[in-house]
Amino acid sequence: MKIYRHWTDLPATARGASVAMGNFDGLHLGHRAVIDLARRDAPLGLVTFEPHPRQYFKPATAPFRLMNAEARANRLAKMGVDHLYELPFDAALAGLGAEDFARRVLAEGLGIRHVVVGRDFRFGHNRTGDAGLLTDLGRNLGFEVTVADLVDLDGDNISSTAIRRALSEGDPRHAAAMLGHWHRIEGEVLHGEKRGRELGYPTANMMLDSLHLPKFGVYAAQVDVLTGPDKGTYGGAASLGIRPMFDGEVPNLETFLFDFSGNLYGQHLSVALIEYLRPELKFDGLPALIDQMDADCTRARSILAAV
């Protein structure tokens, strides 16, 4: 998959695609339906924006993204997308009117032949453009427009907002039903305080910058090691939160990989949250903490064996 972070002076091979367009946070089943409608006898493209427009307009808002740009790109490549147009959402792009966006970015810049958007898609300065206007503009500018219906699950519309709610409530299985895949947190393994190693449970430490925070606590997890000599899939138990036992303040993710003895520092992991086991707790001493970690891992192994 080729990634382009602009819409001007693209090579001829990057033009003429059939594209899906939107923010695609989480790449849930509704997003997949939009992408599938873009599959034609043409290169498959996806037009999205980085940073997310909500981050641009409300920089002080609480972290809300379900996946970072790297994780989104990794999943799109697995879905068979040929061209990812990750357009820089800045003052210039935010200031374009709907007609200018369709003409300058989609028609002249990307040279698309077909675009698919969700029925609730909005675009252009002050969100003045909608799917109907895009259809009219495409007719005049030489590209076809398909409007995808919203997808529901048990009568409720699937949305990134609904998935965030499920994760906040400690229900990763319901989130996974809407996503069509397990919710994953991806990133680099960083050096931590190495307390887990001293307790007999060495953990891979990852930051949660700019990501929506699921319910704090311990989860059964499935871990994909994406880089390094130990690439592969492992079961594990993950603790997400501020570590009240050690008076932590900054949320992070610490994952213990079962039956693993390698060095993960600097490697990239994808941690899937499978089932919520318990909330974060402050124990009366390290022996009680270790006993609980033993119980957590036993339960997590049992859960993962049935997945």
pLDDT exceeds cutoff 70 at 245? no
pLDDT of residue 242: 86
Q: Does any domain span residue 94?
A: yes
- CATH number, position 54: 3.40.50.620
Examine the domain organization and report whether 114 and 228 are in the same domain. no
Residue ranges making up the domain that contains 231: 183-305
Q: Is 99 a catalytic residue?
A: no
- CATH number, position 262: 2.40.30.30
What does the mean pLDDT of the chain come to?
93
Q: Does any domain span residue 13?
A: yes
Enter the pTM of the model.
0.91
Examine the domain organization and report whether 72 and 117 are in the same domain. yes
Catalytic residue among 86, 186, 254, 275: 254
Strand partners of residue 252: 207, 241
Examine the domain organization and report whether 61 and 133 are in the same domain. yes
pLDDT in tens, 67-119: 999 899 999 999 999 999 999 999 999 999 999 999 999 999 999 999 999 99
- Residue 118 CA from chain centroid, whole number: 18
- Number of compact structural domains in the chain: 2
Examine the domain organization and report whether 141 and 204 are in the same domain. no
Examine the domain organization and report whether 137 and 217 are in the same domain. no
Alpha carbons 261 and 104: distance in angstroms, whole number: 53
Amino acid identity for residue 162 in this structure: A
Other Cβ atoms within 10 Å of 179 Cβ, number: 25
